[in-house]
Structure 1
Amino acid sequence: MNYLSVENLSKAFGEKPLFNKISFGIDQGQKVALVGINGAGKSTLMKIIMGIEVADEGEIAINQTVKIAYVHQNPVFDGNLSIYQTIFSDSSSEILNVIEQYQKAMVAAQSGKENSDELNNLMEKMDRLQAWDFEYQVKEVLGKLGLHDTDLPVGNLSGGQRKRVALAKAILEKPDLLLLDEPTNHLDLKTIEWLEDYLSKANLSIFMVTHDRYFLEKVTNEILELDAGKIFRYTGNYSYFLDKKAERREIEATEQEKAKSLYKKELDWIRRQPKARGTKAKYRIDAFEATKEKAFQKKEEREIELQVSSQRLGSKIIEIEKLSKSYDDKTIIKDFTYTFKKGDKIGIVGPNGAGKTTFLNMITGMLPPDSGNIAIGQTTAFGYYKQEESSFDEEKRLIDIVKEVAEVVTLAKGNTITASQFLNQFGFPPKQQHTPIAKLSGGERRRLQLLMVLIKNPNFLILDEPTNDLDIVTLNTLEEFLDNFPGCLIIVSHDRYFMDRLVDHLFVFRGEGEIKDFPGNYTDLREWEKKQDALEALKKQEEKIQETNKKVAETSNKANKASFKQKQEFKQIQTEIGQLEQQKEELVNKINAGTEDHEALLDWSTSIQGIDEKLEELEFRWLELSELDDIMD
C-alpha cells in the first residue's frame, strides 16, 4: 500500500534552487532515510510534506487512511501546558482519554478525594478497551525517554527535553507513517540506543532525516540522497548506500568524460556549419547543447578541507587534582584527578544532566569548582566548540564575520591563505561568502561555528556535541582532521560512530559525582557494561539460589524437629501399645485356658483381631514419629 507520493516537486529560495522536479514514494513497511549535504533542502522537503511550507510546483499525495506523526528538528509547544497535556491533549483516541481520566482519578484517590463510583467506571472502561497494556506502553516510552515528572510545564524544558516530548507524542500516537527530522539530536546515548531498537522493530513506515550513521545502519532499509537538486534511491542500509554512491560517482565521471569528448567533436562541426534552418541541423544543434550541459555540469559536491595549524604544546597541559562540584544537594563531580598527556583523545559520556558540560566549563575557566585545583599549562590554547549555537549578527556577511577574527589563516604546514580561501575550504564558495548570516541553514551555521573555533589555531580542542546538524560529508572530513590532530582532544557526543573512530579512552559520568576513566571507545564500553550486567545478573541469580537453598534447609530442619504436640503423641502411642499388648496377652491366656462357652470364645477371638489392627496402625505411626529429631526428649 502506498502511504506517500511526491511528484515533480520543486523548491527554490531566491536564486538558490534546492530541488527540481523530484519524485519518490513511500510504501507500507518502508523505513527510508533522506541524506544530503547541509543546505541541500532536506528539512525544507520534510516541512513541505507536512504542509508547513509550500512547494514552488509539484504535488504531494498522502493516503487519507494513513495516520502520520511528525517530529520537528526543533519542536515548539505551548509553554503553559504540562508534558502530559502536551502529549495527549489534542488526541482523539478514546483509549488515551480514558487513561488520562483514570490517572487523574488515581491522583485524586491518593489525595483523599476518591470518587469510588467514577473510579470503578473508569476501570471497567479500561478493561473494555484493553487499555491496561497501552498504559504500560505509555509508562515505558515516557520512562525510556527520561520524562518522569510529566506535570512539569513544557516552557521550563530545555531543547533536548522538548525533543523527547515530541518523540513520545509521536510514538504514542501509533502512526502508520512517522516523519523524523534529526531524531537523535540532544538525546543521550542510551536513549538513542533504545529509540534505535524500538524503531527497527516497530511495525510502521518511517521517513527521516538523520546524520547518525549507526542509526541509519540499523533502522533504515532504503536511503534517498538529495544531490544537486535530484533524488537518488538506494535499496539497502547505510553501508550499501556508500558502496552504490561510489559506483554512481564513477559512472557519472565516465559519462561526463565521454560527453566532453563528444562536445569537442560536435563543437568542430558547429563551427564549420553555416547558419541553417533545416530540421536535421536544428536537431543536432539541440543535441549539442544537451551534450555541452552534461559535459560541463557542476556537481554540488562540497569539498571541505581542514588544514589549520595548531600551537606547540608544552610538557604541562592540564593537571586536575581532587576536583569537586555540586549544585544544591546534587553532587556533579567528586574528588576527580587526572593529568592530561600529549595526544590524549578523550570521549565524555553519561546521561543528560550528569555534569558533562559543567566539567568542560570548569576546565576552560568559565565556571569555578567548589574545591580542588585545575592547573593550565602556559602553552595550552583552547578551542571550545559549544553545544549551544553561537550567536552571530544576522545582517553581517560570512566574509566579514571571519575577517573580524583573522584576515589571514595559517595552515598545518605553515602556509597561509586569505579568509575567503579559508571559507571556501569549509564549503562556503565565494558567491555564498557575501550573503547575510540570516540565510544560512542550521547545518551551515554549525559549520561556521566550527570554522570560528579552528581559525584560532588551538592545540587543545573541546567539542561539545559537534555532530549536531552537520551533514555526513562534513562529519567525514572533520573525523579525518581530528584523527590527525596533533594536540589534545575532548569530545562530548551522542554520535557513536564519531566517538568510536576518534577516542582512545572515556570519562564515564556515572552519577553522584563518580567519573570512571575507561580504557577504550564507546563500543568497548558498551560491551564491557553488557558483560558487567551479565555478571551482575549471574551473581544475583546465584545469591537467589543460595537464599532459596538456605530457606529449604531451614524448612527441612524445622520439619525434622519434633514439636511438643508430636512428642506428646509419641508418648501416648507408647502407652497405648503397652496397654493393648497387655489386653491381647490376657485374652490369649483365657483362650488357652479353655471354656465350654463358645460365644465367649468367639468374642475373645474377635477382640484379639481388633487389637491387632489397632496395634498395626499405632506401630506405623510410631515408626513415622521415631524419625523426627529429639522425639525422645
Structure 2
Amino acid sequence: MSVIQVSDLTFAYEGSYDNIFEHASFQLDTDWRLGFTGRNGRGKTTFMNLLLGKYEYSGTISASVDFEYFPFPVEDKEANTLDIVEGAVPDLQLWELMRELSLLEVSDDVLYRPFASLSNGEQTKVLLAALFLKENSFLLIDEPTNHLDMNARRLVSEYLSRKRGFILVSHDRAFLDRCVDHILSINKTTIEVQKGNFSDWWDNKERRDSYELAENERLRKDIRRLEDSARQKSGWSHEVEKTKNGTRNSGSKLDKGYVGHKAAKMMKRSKSIEQRQQSAIEEKSGLLKDLESSESLKLSPLLYHKSRLVELDNVSIAYGERLICEDISFSVDQGERIALSGKNGSGKSSVLKLICGESLAHTGTLRMGSQLRISYVSQDTSDLKGDLSGYARDCGINESLFKSILRKLDFARVQFEKDMASYSGGQKKKVLIARSLCEKAHLYIWDEPLNFIDVLSRMQIEELLLEYQPTLLFVEHDSEFRRNVATRVIEI
C-alpha cells in the first residue's frame, strides 16, 4: 500500500483563462478500486493525463507507482493479438495472460487472430488483462463500458471487483456499484474522496444537498427578519435621539442624558443585529456551491394517427455475404419505449438504421406508417465539426431552444463559441440528443445515446422520457437506464 498525494494542483489549458483545477489537494490509496465521477467537461480525463505527465501544472503530484492508461494505443491492428500484448508487457508470462482471459471468459484463440478481427468487447478485455499483468502499476481506466453489451459489462465489472489499484471513469451506475470501493468526484467547486460505491456517494450527496437547501432557506428567512429588525431599531434610535431637544407631554423638561443613553442602547442593539445578519450572510454563502443544477428538459412528440408505427416480419439483414441478423419480428406501437437487447454484433444498430430508411440488403417485410417522422441519434459523433449555430441551421432546428437544452445539460456558454470537433465525447453526444429533443417526431430512435454522458445528465434524460412518454426505440447497455425507461425489451 502507498499513497498518491495531490497538493495545491492548479491547471489550465494553454490559451484558456479558466482553470480546470485550482489549488486542489487530496490523497488516494494505491490499493483502492476508485470510481471517478463528475459532469462532462469537468476534467476527469485531464486529471488522468496530468498523472501520466502529459501536461505542465503547478502544485505537486507524488506517487511511488507507475501509471498505465486504458485503452493504450494499438498502432498495428492487423498484427496478431499476442504480439500486441507482448509489445505492451515485455516480460509477459503466457500462462498468466491465459489465466486473466479465462476470468474474462475470452477464449485463448483470440491471441492468434489479428487484433482488428476481435469484437469491441474482446478488445477491451484483452487490453485490460494485459495492463493488470504489469507490476507496480496503477491503472487509469477511461470509460471501458462504451459499446460493451450488458453481459460483457457484467463480466468486466466482476473482473475489476477482484482487482486493486485503479481509477475507473464510468457513468454506468450499476457498473460502478459492482466494482469500486471509493469514489473520487469532481464537483462544481470542490474535489472530494469518499469511501463506498456510487450509490453510497449519491445517497450522501442527496442528504447533503437536502440539508444545505433547508439550511439555506432557514438562513434566508433569518437574514430577512434581521434586516427588518435592524431597520426598525435603527429608526427608533433616531426618533428617540430627536426628542432630546423637546419636552415631555407633562410640560416638564426632558432628561437629555437618559434619552441619549436610551438612543445609544438602541443603536448598539441595532449594530448587534447587523453583525448577526452579516454572520448569517457569510454562513449562507458557504452553502450550495456544489449543488448541481439539473433543470427539467422538455419534448414535443407528435401524435400519430394510427396506433401502430412500425412492424418487422421475419426481417434478415446482410452486409455482402455476411448475415448480420435473421428472422427479426416485432412491432412498435404508439407510446411504447422499446429497448433492443443483444450481444455486440447481433444487428441491433442495423435494425435501427433499416427503420430509419438506410438502404440495407434485407429480406422479410418492413412496414412503416405513411408520413412517419423519425428523429434519429446515431452512435457515431465523428462528423461533428463547426459551430453550434451553423449546426442548428443545417439541421433546421430552433437555435435558441437547442442552446437552451445544452445549457440545461451543463454546457458552459463558452462552449458555444468553440468548434464541436474539440468537444469531449460526452459533449458531442449531448449535441446529438439536444438536436433530437428539438425535433418534433412521431418516433424517436436512439442508438446508444448515453455513451460518455455523465450520470446527472442521464438522470435528466430519464425524467424527460418518463414525463413526456414519447414513442421510443433504443439501444442502451446502461442497465439502470434501461430498467427505468423501457416499457418492453426485445432480444435480438
Scaled by the length of structure 2, what TM-score is found? 0.79
Q: CA 1:341–1:418 in 2, change beyond 3 Å: closer, same or farther?
A: closer
Q: Residue 88 of structure 2 contacts residue 130 of structure 2 at CA under 8 Å; is this kept in 1?
A: no
Q: CA 1:437–1:151 in 2, change beyond 3 Å: closer, same or farther?
A: same
Partner of 2:34: 32
1:350 and 2:342 are equivalent in the alignment: yes
Query: Which protein has greater RCO, CA pairs closer than 8 Å, 6+ apart?
Result: 2
Partner of 1:414: none
Partner of 1:60: 61
- Pick aligned residue for 1:245 from 185, 200, 205: 205
1:385 and 2:377 are equivalent in the alignment: yes
The amino acid across from 1:435 in the alignment is K
Partner of 2:144: 183
Q: CA 1:23–1:348 in 2, change beyond 3 Å: closer, same or farther?
A: same
Query: Partner of 1:228: helix, strand, or coil?
Result: coil
Partner of 1:372: 364
Once the two structures are superposed, the pairs formed by residues 19-418 of structure 1 within 5 Å of their partners are 19-55=21-57, 57-63=58-64, 66=65, 68-72=67-71, 75-79=72-76, 81-93=79-91, 96=93, 99=94, 132=95, 134=96, 136-140=98-102, 144-145=105-106, 148-154=109-115, 162-173=123-134, 177-202=138-163, 204-253=164-213, 291=282, 294=285, 301-315=292-306, 316-327=308-319, 330-394=322-386, 396=387, 398-406=388-396, 408=398, 418=401
Once the two structures are superposed, the pairs formed by residues 449-468 of structure 1 within 5 Å of their partners are 449-468=432-451
1:6 and 2:6 are equivalent in the alignment: yes
Distance in 2, Cα, partners of 1:28 & 1:423: 37
Which digits, 9 at most, give the CA deviation of each residue in 1:231-271, with x for residues without a partner?
Answer: 122221222111210222234445656776898879x99xx
Q: CA deviation at 1:297?
A: 7.7
Q: CA deviation at 1:463?
A: 1.5
Greater helix fraction, Structure 1 or Structure 2:
1
RMSD: 3.3
Q: CA 1:470–1:356 in 2, change beyond 3 Å: closer, same or farther?
A: same
Partner of 1:497: 480
Q: Residue 402 of structure 2 contacts residue 434 of structure 2 at CA under 8 Å; is this kept in 1?
A: no
Which digits, 9 at most, give the CA deviation of each residue in 1:299-344, with x for residues without a partner?
Answer: 5734343212011123141122221223455433323332322222
Query: Partner of 2:20: helix, strand, or coil?
Result: strand
Distance in 2, Cα, partners of 1:297 & 1:139: 46
Q: Residue 381 of structure 1 contacts residue 459 of structure 1 at CA under 8 Å; is this kept in 2?
A: yes
Which digits, 9 at most, give the CA deviation of each residue in 1:532-587, with x for residues without a partner?
Answer: xxxxxxxxxxxxxxxxxxxxxxxxxxxxxxxxxxxxxxxxxxxxxxxxxxxxxxxx
Identity of counterpart residues, as a percentage?
A: 25
Q: CA deviation at 1:226?
A: 0.6
Q: CA 1:23–1:195 in 2, change beyond 3 Å: closer, same or farther?
A: same
Which digits, 9 at most, give the CA deviation of each residue in 1:484-509, with x for residues without a partner?
Answer: 34332222122111111112332222
The amino acid across from 2:312 in the alignment is I
Distance in 2, Cα, partners of 1:9 & 1:419: 35
* Count of residue pairs brought into register by the alignment: 442
Distance in 1, Cα, partners of 2:375 & 2:3: 47
Partner of 1:612: none
Query: Partner of 1:370: helix, strand, or coil?
Result: strand
Distance in 2, Cα, partners of 1:158 & 1:454: 32
Distance in 2, Cα, partners of 1:442 & 1:155: 22
Which digits, 9 at most, give the CA deviation of each residue in 1:278-307, with x for residues without a partner?
Answer: xxxxxx9xx99x939936986573434321
Q: Residue 79 of structure 1 contacts residue 156 of structure 1 at CA under 8 Å; is this kept in 2?
A: no
Q: Residue 304 of structure 1 contacts residue 474 of structure 1 at CA under 8 Å; is this kept in 2?
A: no
Q: CA deviation at 1:391?
A: 1.6
Scaled by the length of structure 1, what TM-score is found? 0.63
Q: CA deviation at 1:160?
A: 6.2
Q: Residue 101 of structure 2 contacts residue 129 of structure 2 at CA under 8 Å; is this kept in 1?
A: no
Q: Residue 184 of structure 1 contacts residue 210 of structure 1 at CA under 8 Å; is this kept in 2?
A: yes
Q: CA 1:427–1:158 in 2, change beyond 3 Å: closer, same or farther?
A: same
Q: CA 1:457–1:230 in 2, change beyond 3 Å: closer, same or farther?
A: same
Q: CA deviation at 1:155?
A: 5.9
Q: Which deviates further from its counterpart, 158-167 or 21-30?
A: 158-167
Q: Residue 216 of structure 2 contacts residue 284 of structure 2 at CA under 8 Å; is this kept in 1?
A: no
Partner of 2:254: none
Greater Rg, structure 1 or structure 2?
1
Distance in 1, Cα, partners of 2:136 & 2:151: 24
Query: Partner of 1:52: helix, strand, or coil?
Result: coil
Distance in 1, Cα, partners of 2:422 & 2:216: 32
Q: Residue 406 of structure 1 contacts residue 455 of structure 1 at CA under 8 Å; is this kept in 2?
A: no
Which digits, 9 at most, give the CA deviation of each residue in 1:471-493, with x for residues without a partner?
Answer: 00100011111223433222212
Q: CA 1:218–1:159 in 2, change beyond 3 Å: closer, same or farther?
A: closer
Query: Partner of 1:487: helix, strand, or coil?
Result: coil
Q: CA deviation at 1:42?
A: 0.9
Q: CA deviation at 1:60?
A: 1.0
Partner of 1:446: 429
Partner of 1:578: none
Which digits, 9 at most, give the CA deviation of each residue in 1:27-46, with x for residues without a partner?
Answer: 24321111111111111111
Q: CA 1:309–1:24 in 2, change beyond 3 Å: closer, same or farther?
A: same
Q: Note the residue ranges of structure 1 that are not aligned, 5 or more in a row.
A: 100-131, 273-283, 410-416, 510-633
Q: Note the residue ranges of structure 2 that are not aligned, 5 or more in a row.
A: 235-274
Q: CA deviation at 1:77?
A: 1.7
